[in-house]
Chain A
Amino acid sequence: MRVVTPFISIGLLLLVWQAVVVGFHVKPYVAPRPLVALKAVSDNWGVLWPLVLEIIRETVFGFLGGAVIGVFFGVVMAKVRFLQRIIYPQLILSQAVPVVAIAFPLTVILGFGSVKPIIAIVIWIVFFPVTVNVLDGLSHVDQDLLNLARVYGASRWRTFIHIEVPGAVTPLFSGLKIGATYAITGAFIGELVSPPLGGTNLALYVEHANSNFDPASVYGVTLLMAAIGVAWFLLVAGAGTLATPWERRSVARRWRRRSIAAPQVDH
């Protein structure tokens, strides 16, 4: 049931869309019915799929870059309070700047038509929620637990690795999940401002469909990108579940167990 409900929920949304378009006699050039939109995608799949692969690649690489940079800033700010006071305002400012506005200078700097500004925009969007959550996780370690480590004679490095880092895994994945849903948006904006010279991409495809009064393709590709975003979110969320077994399980997974005690039943 827990697996089925999200699909029912999204199916309901499509039904409402269908009902609104049919019920209010919305003209096909204003908004298509959902099935018509999906058909526009499948009819042009031969043209679309390389573009889809490309935007997935940009989304994934940008996301990974954003994750690494996000973790880096989070750790640096948590460990060096002085740097936190200097870097944090700048990072907040970076997010207050409209990303579409910053996208143009980024393409000028990194090369118009290149994939670099696209990746950079995805990184720009993804790193921030990761940084904020990692910083939060590292800053809220129980002081008594840190004291206990000190009493044991633990070094700062070992305390960091065995106490602070594992404690920040859950917040890290909260940040990554937010970043995962935003990443595809970043890639789309990037493609709009930095189309390949003499070539095309998914954003240009949507732009052309829009100027050719082909809302079926616009809506269809939009649905497709939403699906990519959702799929990426689910992958990241799944990785989070694997990385934090203690959140859901009472007993460690078999392969994680070290003891040679009698076999136990998982629950």
Chain B
Amino acid sequence: MSVVEVARDDGATLKGVTSTVLLDLRAVEKVFADKVVLAPTDLRVDEGSFVSIVGPSGCGKSTLFNVIAGLLRPDGGSVTLQGRDVVGATGHVGYMLQKDLLVPWRTVEDNITMAARLTRRVGANDREEAREIARRYGLGEFLDHYPKALSGGMRQRVAFMRTLVTHQQLLLLDEPFGALDAQTRLDMQKWLLDVWRESGRTVLFITHDVDESIFLSDRILVMSPRPGRIVADVDNPLARPRDIDILTDPTFVALKARIMHLLHGGTS
């Protein structure tokens, strides 16, 4: 995997670099009370990549996430992570929602170590790691603060740090910035790209915001409801590292037009 990371740091494209499939979904489907929430779906995600999923409400994106995370058992198909069957199992992904889900009775530091606390004894090295990551990403001053003392953007940062220290290779982010104002959101997107590059993780990212999906990802999956399914898998050719000026780049605009067209029922 380091090969891919080096390539990315140089700002080069991934072409020519062999990549391994981290997540492999085959014919995964989910039915709720005779309603097909997710039609048989195939999806392969390369290790180290950033993949966004866009689509209207009810297109099955959150269902897809819950199946991958193990919260829901699919009615058919297989889910393998690093070659391991994970259907119905939990404890193999990092997971973050629009709600930060920080517990009010724990300080920032203790919220970051929450996953460890829920699965084993929190050790000195867990705490040291939490402090280190909080300092590195600008929250070192707030380690002893309770979450309610933080702004929305800071809380989402803490929630993301909590997700990172789970040391899971695959991070599922379900509209993590959906509740933030536009300016904070842009700051968070840039921050996320930095952290993602440094951490070498694989991200699956749900969003309603087409701009956000293009700005962040290598691939954009467009989903559609009734039944929930992936209707298009769009490669994003924009070079990294990216900054806000790409938001007006012609390639960006063309890609956005294409995805908007797909979202409104068009075909590619």
Q: Which residues of A contact B (CB under 8 A)?
A: 142, 144-145, 147-155, 158-159, 162-163, 166-167, 169, 244-246, 249-252, 256-262, 264
Task: Tally B residues with Cβ within 8 Å of A.
Answer: 34
A-chain residues with CB within 8 Å of residue B149 when the two chains form the complex: 250-251
Task: Please measure, in the bound complex, the distance between the C-alpha atom of A149 and the C-alpha atom of B110, giving whole angstroms.
Answer: 15
Is B69 a contact of A144 with CB atoms below 8 Å? no
Q: Which residues of B contact A (CB under 8 A)?
A: 69-71, 90-93, 95, 97, 99, 101, 103-107, 109-110, 114-115, 117-119, 127, 131, 140-141, 143-146, 148-149, 166
Is A154 a contact of B101 with CB atoms below 8 Å? no
Which of the residues A150, A155, A163, A251 comes within 8 Å of B144, measured between beta carbons?
Answer: A251
Instruction: Kindly provide the distance from the CB of B71 to the nearest chain A CB, expressed in whole angstroms.
Output: 6
**Whose C-beta in chain B lies nearest to the C-beta of A165?**
B105
The 3 closest A-B pairs by CB, nearest first: A153-B91, A154-B118, A250-B149
**Whose C-beta in chain A lies nearest to the C-beta of B174?**
A144
A-chain residues with CB within 8 Å of residue B109 when the two chains form the complex: 258-259
**Whose C-beta in chain A lies nearest to the C-beta of B108?**
A259
29 pairs of residues in contact across A and B, judged by CB atoms under 8 Å: A144-B99, A145-B103, A147-B71, A151-B69, A151-B90, A152-B90, A152-B91, A152-B115, A153-B118, A154-B119, A155-B119, A158-B117, A162-B114, A162-B117, A163-B103, A163-B118, A167-B105, A245-B146, A246-B105, A246-B148, A250-B145, A250-B146, A251-B149, A257-B143, A258-B107, A258-B109, A258-B144, A261-B144, A262-B141
A-chain residues with CB within 8 Å of residue B131 when the two chains form the complex: 259-261
Is A144 a contact of B97 with CB atoms below 8 Å? yes
Instruction: Kindly provide the distance from the CB of A146 to the nearest chain B CB, expressed in whole angstroms.
Output: 10
Task: Please measure, in the bound complex, the distance between the C-alpha atom of A166 and the C-alpha atom of B91, giving whole angstroms.
Answer: 23
B-chain residues with CB within 8 Å of residue A144 when the two chains form the complex: 97, 99, 101
Is A148 a contact of B143 with CB atoms below 8 Å? no
Task: Please measure, in the bound complex, the distance between the C-alpha atom of A257 and the C-alpha atom of B69, giving whole angstroms.
Answer: 33
Given contacts A145-B101, A166-B105, A246-B105, contact A258 B127 (CB under 8 A): yes
Instruction: Kindly provide the distance from the CB of B100 to the nearest chain A CB, expressed in whole angstroms.
Output: 10
Task: Please measure, in the bound complex, the distance between the C-alpha atom of A154 and the C-alpha atom of B118, giving whole angstroms.
Answer: 5
Task: Please measure, in the bound complex, the distance between the C-alpha atom of A163 and the C-alpha atom of B99, giving whole angstroms.
Answer: 16
Is A251 a contact of B145 with CB atoms below 8 Å? yes
Task: Please measure, in the bound complex, the distance between the C-alpha atom of A151 and the C-alpha atom of B71, giving whole angstroms.
Answer: 7
Is A264 a contact of B119 with CB atoms below 8 Å? no
B-chain residues with CB within 8 Å of residue A159 when the two chains form the complex: 118
Is A261 a contact of B140 with CB atoms below 8 Å? yes
